[in-house]
């Protein structure tokens, strides 16, 4: 199980980084592309959480990727 973060990269677009990793997994032009790749990476490693950060760095959304376990299922009505 692996958690990934989608973060704004200064001047390069949007980066995908695995939680706890030292290196960036990938860089994308748009936040939507980065989010799609983060979900794919998480799914390939057994599921987990994908946390999407705003331009200022705050977490603005979090999605559970199967087969991960949603830590708060009744509150997450978006997905």
Q: What is the mean pLDDT of the chain?
A: 87
Q: Is 25 a member of any domain? A: yes
How crowded is residue 8: how many other Cβ atoms within 10 Å of its Cβ? 16
Residue 39 lies in a domain: yes
Q: How many domains does the chain have?
A: 1
According to DSSP, residue 35 is labeled: H
Containing structural domain, residue 58:
4-65
Residue 22 included in any domain:
yes
DSSP class of residue 22?
S
Does residue 79 belong to any structural domain of this protein?
no
pLDDT tens digits along 21-41: 999 999 999 999 999 999 999
Those residues whose C-beta lies under 8 Å from the C-beta of residue 22, and which sit 6 or more positions away, are none
Q: Quick check: is 77 in a domain?
A: no
pLDDT at 11 over 90: no
- 3 state DSSP class of 59: strand
Q: What are phi and psi of 7, to 5 degrees?
A: -130, 150
């Amino acid at each position: 199980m692996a958690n990934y973060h989608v973060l704004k990269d200064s001047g390069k677009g949007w980066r995908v980084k695995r939680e706890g990793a030292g290196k960036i997994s990938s860089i994308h032009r748009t936040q939507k592309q980065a989010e799609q790749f983060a979900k794919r990476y998480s799914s390939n490693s057994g599921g987990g959480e994908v946390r999407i950060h705003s331009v200022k760095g705050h977490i603005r959304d979090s999605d559970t990727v199967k087969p991960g376990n949603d830590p708060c299922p009744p509150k997450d009505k978006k997905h």
